[in-house]
């Protein structure tokens, strides 16, 4: 979900306003995903590299994520469940604050009965960290293989990615689900994340469906 800062700068607003708009954009895409019968939606909320941003910006992003994980009633109404991937709270190197940890756990517990859309938020997440951890755990369990690595990912139940959406004119792959995106179709758009509309999202889903029909 790239381009929150650029969106704010173009409008002469603080970067924090861009992140607020980005959180609302994600809520829109969640609703559209539920309406379009998407099974899994995974959003890169905050990476392991983002902690070096200015403290005021980080604090604002943390508060937005607490709010995001707090949207449990809307998730239940849409028969959706919330999941999370990132550095496990109890492991060395994890940086998720306690109050965000609690919000994450409440969201998971309060929406666990959802059988429709699964919304996974990647917070304090980096794919290289995920893969390194998976390999280390696999090495303690016997010969390392693709299957043993897959079993030790943050969420082994997550299916392979079908469609990867990259906003804000970025035509590169970030440190996001590097194992899971093998074979995924990539949709690049010039729109910043706050400007990414439900209509363009539907178009990307339609194009994906046509390419696999």
pLDDT in tens, 8-44: 999 999 999 999 999 999 999 999 999 999 999 999 9
Q: What is the pLDDT of residue 105?
A: 97
Q: What is the SS3 assignment for 57?
A: helix
Q: CA 9, CA 3: separation in Å to the nearest integer?
A: 10
Across the strands, what pairs with 81?
118
Q: How many CB atoms lie within 10 A of CB 156?
A: 10
- Verify whether residue 50 is a known catalytic residue: yes
Q: Is the pTM of this model over 0.85?
A: yes
Question: CB-side exposure of 158: number of CA atoms within 13 Å?
Answer: 25
Q: How far is CA 94 from CA 86, 88, 98, in A?
A: 8, 6, 11
Residue among 193, 153, 204 nearest 64 (CA): 193
The pair of three-digit structure tokens given for residue 64, joined into one six-digit string: 């937005």
Mean pLDDT of 138-157: 97
CA dihedral for 17, 22, 27, 32, sign (positive or negative): positive
pLDDT digits (tens, 9 = 90+) for 89-113: 999 999 999 999 999 999 999 999 9
What does pLDDT average to over the chain? 95
Q: What is the pLDDT of residue 173?
A: 86
Residue among 151, 168, 203, 161 nearest 182 (CA): 161
Task: Considering the candidates 50, 155, 162, 175, report the single residue annotated as catalytic.
Answer: 50
Q: CA 104, CA 110: separation in Å to the nearest integer?
A: 10
Give the percent of the chain with pLDDT over 70.
100
Q: What is the pLDDT of residue 127?
A: 97
Structural domains of the chain, count: 1
Q: Domain range holding 57?
A: 4-211
Rg (Cα) of the chain, in Å, rounded? 17
Q: Do residues 79 and 39 make contact, with C-beta atoms less than 8 angstroms apart?
A: no
* Whether the predicted pLDDT of 213 surpasses 80: no
CATH code, domain carrying 114: 3.40.1180.10
Task: Considering the candidates 2, 4, 124, 195, report the single residue annotated as catalytic.
Answer: 2
Residues 6+ apart with CB under 8 A from 64: 19, 20, 23
- Verify whether residue 124 is a known catalytic residue: no
């Amino acid at each position: 979900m790239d381009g929150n800062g650029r969106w704010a700068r173009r409008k002469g607003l603080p970067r924090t306003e861009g992140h607020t708009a980005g959180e609302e954009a994600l809520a829109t895409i969640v609703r559209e995903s539920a309406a379009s019968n998407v099974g899994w939606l995974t959003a890169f909320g905050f990476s392991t590299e983002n902690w070096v941003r200015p403290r005021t910006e980080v604090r604002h992003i943390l508060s937005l994520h607490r709010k995001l994980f707090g949207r449990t009633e809307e998730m239940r109404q849409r028969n959706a469940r919330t999941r999370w991937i990132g550095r496990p709270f109890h492991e060395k190197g994890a940086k998720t604050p306690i109050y965000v940890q609690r919000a994450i756990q409440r969201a998971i517990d309060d929406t666990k009965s959802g059988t429709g859309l699964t919304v996974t938020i990647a917070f304090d997440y980096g794919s290289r960290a995920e893969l390194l951890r998976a390999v280390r755990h696999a090495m303690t369990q016997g010969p390392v293989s693709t299957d043993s690595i897959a079993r030790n990912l943050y969420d082994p139940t997550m299916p392979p990615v079908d469609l990867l959406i990259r906003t804000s004119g970025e035509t590169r792959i970030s440190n996001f689900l590097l194992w899971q995106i093998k074979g995924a179709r990539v949709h690049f758009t010039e729109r910043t994340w706050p400007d990414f509309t439900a209509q363009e999202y539907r178009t990307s889903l339609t194009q994906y469906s046509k390419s696999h029909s």
